[in-house]
Amino acid sequence: MTDFRSDQISFTYPDSMVSFQFYDQPKLATYRKNCNGQVFLLSEISDLINAYGLPTEEKSQTHESLRFDKYIEAQVWDDEIINEYKKQSKPNR
């Protein structure tokens, strides 16, 4: 995470498709959390995890209210950081 500038990354909890469906769909109110339907900044991720915990497969299988909380999605908004990682991962020729 330290490789990212605050303007290069954002987050949804859980993934964006699920988060925004929970926010919009009345029939999914059982699973809705205050964080659904929002995008969070890098500066907010620690508070988000402190409030809701890290999602895990085990929690999603043992707590009905956490059934769809399997991970936190990150959105990367800058090709610069991706290109840096691509350069680092290329084998030496």
Residue-wise pLDDT tens digits, 64-75: 888 888 889 999
pLDDT at 31 (0 to 100): 87
Confidence at 93, pLDDT banded by 50, 70, 90: low
Confidence at 22, pLDDT banded by 50, 70, 90: confident
DSSP state string for 33-83: -TTTT--EEGGGHHHHHHHH----HHHHHH-GGGTT----EEEE--HHHHH
